[in-house]
């Protein structure tokens, strides 16, 4: 499961080295319509990519479907891909998730390289080997664990991102800060996202990825400590699913940020997570991400979404909670009453 994560200073050289480590008969590059326009031009003139076959899919999470997966399989098949071919996934989390799953299942598995182009995919989706698609209205319902042979992180792509996408990825970095130590958390809640210092951000990305890598190496298939990475995600995925169901789609990181508000409150109630740190984190999230509104009539639906979460066992909703910054408690359960109380707190504190 060990994968090579390269913090790139020279993309042309680093990608060539990554390709040379995967002997291949044919090269394919997967993009979505946005990364084809904004990111493919950055690498398209590299000499060793001149014979690569392009596969382009629709952008945004709405296209992370079985239909799109089938399109990629067909493109690989029609392009003459064999078991020895190589797929380069150039894009955000949707592209690396779906592309990784397509590669993992085509001909029972071909090698793939991730070049994440969004902050979210750099610090989350592209590292750690989780691949998959949405199915039946649920996030990442179908997928496998299978690491890319190499993940290349290049800060230049961050300059192609709008503010909305930067903030989305930053939420996963905030989560990494909360599960690591007070110094990382404090740096993250004081960083100026309105006037981004990109070299400093790249250093923070490297730190964030190292936190995730360390956890994934210890627990590749999420039997134990890897569940720490689920902080904010049980509530966050439910909010994301509700948004998708009501055609008011939100970026994943925003949903995670709102999920952190919910789950840190639950942590304060259940495990005495410090109220001052809850308050500071909540204030940062409110100022950075705004608010996702819902009312008490939607509680049942949110609760049902949480019941479908992959982390559950025997229908019991499972959370990762915190006793303090860096003090992780996995496999925490909560009653329906506690979950409804958590949703009440979110609405009151966020001003729904």
CATH code of the domain containing 84: 3.40.50.1970
Total structural domains within the chain: 2
- Whether pLDDT at 3 is above 80: no
% of the chain surpassing 90 pLDDT: 85
Q: What's the Cα-to-Cα distance from 13 to each of 157, 248, 288, rounded to whole Å? A: 16, 41, 36
Bridge partners (DSSP) of residue 111 are 86
Mean pLDDT of 138-155: 92
In the prediction, which pLDDT does 1 show?
A: 52
Q: Are residues 195 and 325 in the same domain?
A: yes
Q: Are residues 143 and 213 in the same domain?
A: no
In contact, 334 and 266? CB cutoff 8 Å: yes
- Whether pLDDT at 310 is above 80: no
* Length of the chain measured in residues: 352
Q: Are residues 184 and 246 in the same domain?
A: yes
Domain CATH code at residue 273: 1.20.1090.10
In the prediction, which pLDDT does 71 show?
A: 98
Report which of residues 199 and 233 the model is more confident about.
Answer: 233
Report which of residues 310 and 317 the model is more confident about.
Answer: 317
Predicted confidence band of residue 139 (pLDDT cuts 50, 70, 90): confident
The domain in which residue 327 lies consists of 163-350
Predicted confidence band of residue 232 (pLDDT cuts 50, 70, 90): very high
- Whether pLDDT at 80 is above 80: yes
Each residue of 167-192: pLDDT tens digit?
Answer: 999 999 999 999 999 999 999 999 99
Mean pLDDT of 118-147: 91
Distance CA 4, CA 161 (A): 25
Mean pLDDT of 112-121: 94
Q: What's the Cα-to-Cα distance from 230 to each of 50, 153, 179, 214, 329, rounded to whole Å? A: 40, 22, 10, 15, 11
Q: Are residues 73 and 52 in the same domain?
A: yes
**Residue at which a domain ends, from 160, 190, 205:** 160
In the prediction, which pLDDT does 155 show?
A: 85
Mean pLDDT of 16-21: 96
**Residue at which a domain ends, from 128, 160, 192:** 160
In the prediction, which pLDDT does 274 show?
A: 98
Rg from Cα positions in the chain:
20
Q: Are residues 108 and 34 in the same domain?
A: yes
**Residue at which a domain ends, from 130, 160, 190:** 160
In the prediction, which pLDDT does 243 show?
A: 95
Q: Are residues 188 and 63 in the same domain?
A: no
In the prediction, which pLDDT does 2 show?
A: 64
């Amino acid at each position: 499961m060990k994968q090579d994560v390269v913090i790139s200073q020279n993309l042309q050289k680093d990608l060539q080295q990554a390709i040379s480590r995967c002997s291949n008969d044919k090269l394919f590059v997967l993009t979505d319509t946005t990364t084809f326009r904004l990111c493919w031009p950055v690498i398209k003139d590299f000499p060793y990519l001149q014979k690569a076959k392009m596969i382009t899919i629709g952008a945004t999470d709405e296209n992370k479907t079985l239909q799109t997966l089938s399109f990629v399989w067909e493109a690989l098949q029609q392009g003459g891909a064999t078991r020895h071919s190589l797929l380069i996934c150039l894009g955000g989390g949707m592209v690396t998730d779906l592309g990784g799953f397509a590669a993992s299942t085509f001909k029972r598995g071909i090698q793939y390289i991730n070049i994440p182009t969004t902050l979210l995919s750099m610090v989350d989706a592209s590292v750690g080997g989780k691949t998959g698609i949405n199915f039946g209205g649920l996030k990442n319902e179908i997928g496998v664990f299978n690491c890319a042979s190499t993940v290349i992180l290049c800060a230049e792509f961050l300059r192609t991102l709008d503010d909305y996408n930067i903030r989305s990825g930053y939420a996963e970095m905030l989560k990494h800060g909360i599960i690591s130590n007070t110094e990382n958390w404090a740096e993250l809640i004081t960083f100026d996202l309105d006037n981004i210092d990109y070299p400093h951000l790249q250093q923070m990305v490297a730190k964030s990825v190292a936190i995730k890598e360390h956890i994934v190496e210890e627990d590749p298939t999420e039997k134990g400590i890897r569940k720490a990475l689920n902080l904010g995600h049980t509530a966050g995925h439910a909010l994301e699913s509700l948004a998708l169901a009501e055609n008011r789609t939100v970026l994943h990181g925003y949903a995670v940020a709102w999920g952190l508000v919910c789950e840190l409150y639950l942590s304060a109630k259940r495990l005495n997570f410090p109220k001052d740190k809850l308050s500071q984190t909540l204030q940062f999230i409110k100022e950075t991400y705004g608010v996702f509104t819902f009312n008490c009539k939607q509680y049942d639906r949110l609760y049902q979404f949480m019941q479908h979460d992959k982390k559950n066992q025997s229908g019991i909703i499972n959370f990762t909670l915190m006793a303090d910054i860096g003090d992780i408690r996995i496999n925490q359960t909560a009653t329906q009453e506690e979950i409804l109380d958590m949703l009440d707190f979110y609405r009151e504190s966020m001003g729904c």
